[in-house]
């Protein structure tokens, strides 16, 4: 029984440290949000209804956006977001504490 409790404690610490190492921050920098919004302006496809997506991305050593994933029900939105954001360099400067950022995106019908 003692061995089982030790194994459970070890598994807990391993999973906790793995989750702590892969932190994802919600994007909240106003200047960055403004620039990203401009990049995603005027989609190149017809929109019948509002489309929501969660975009996870990082900045590379050249301060360019690298899109890791786009979680959306629309394949068009996924391709659109990746094509507009991937490897775009932003003018805003910021301190990057986390390696990954998560940004909720809504593409609205105009």
pLDDT of residue 101: 87
Query: Is residue 84 within 8 Å of residue 105, measured between CB atoms?
Result: no
Q: Among all chains, which residue has been given the structure tokens 């979680």?
A: 71
Query: Is residue 66 within 8 Å of residue 82, measured between CB atoms?
Result: no
pTM of the model: 0.69
Whole-angstrom CA distances from 110 to 3, 19, 43 are 62, 40, 10
pLDDT in tens, 64-76: 899 999 999 988 8
Which of 16-25, 68-77, 79-88 is predicted with the least confidence, judged by mean pLDDT?
16-25
DSSP letter string over 39-54? HT-S-SS--SS-EEEE
Is pLDDT larger for residue 56 or for residue 25? Answer: 56
* Neighbouring-strand partners of residue 71: 54
Name the percent of the chain lying above pLDDT 90: 25
Burial class of 55 by CB neighbour count within 10 A (0 to 12, 13 to 18, 19+):
buried
Length of the chain: 110
């Amino acid at each position: 029984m003692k061995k089982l409790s030790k194994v459970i404690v070890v598994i807990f610490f391993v999973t906790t440290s793995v989750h702590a190492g892969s932190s994802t921050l919600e994007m909240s920098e106003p200047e960055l949000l403004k620039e990203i919004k401009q990049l995603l302006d005027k989609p190149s496809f017809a929109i019948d209804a509002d489309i929501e997506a969660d975009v996870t991305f990082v900045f590379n050593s050249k301060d360019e956006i690298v899109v890791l994933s786009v979680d959306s029900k629309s394949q068009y939105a996924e391709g659109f977001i990746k094509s507009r954001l991937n490897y775009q360099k932003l003018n805003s400067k910021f301190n990057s504490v986390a390696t990954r950022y998560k940004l909720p995106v809504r593409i609205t019908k105009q």
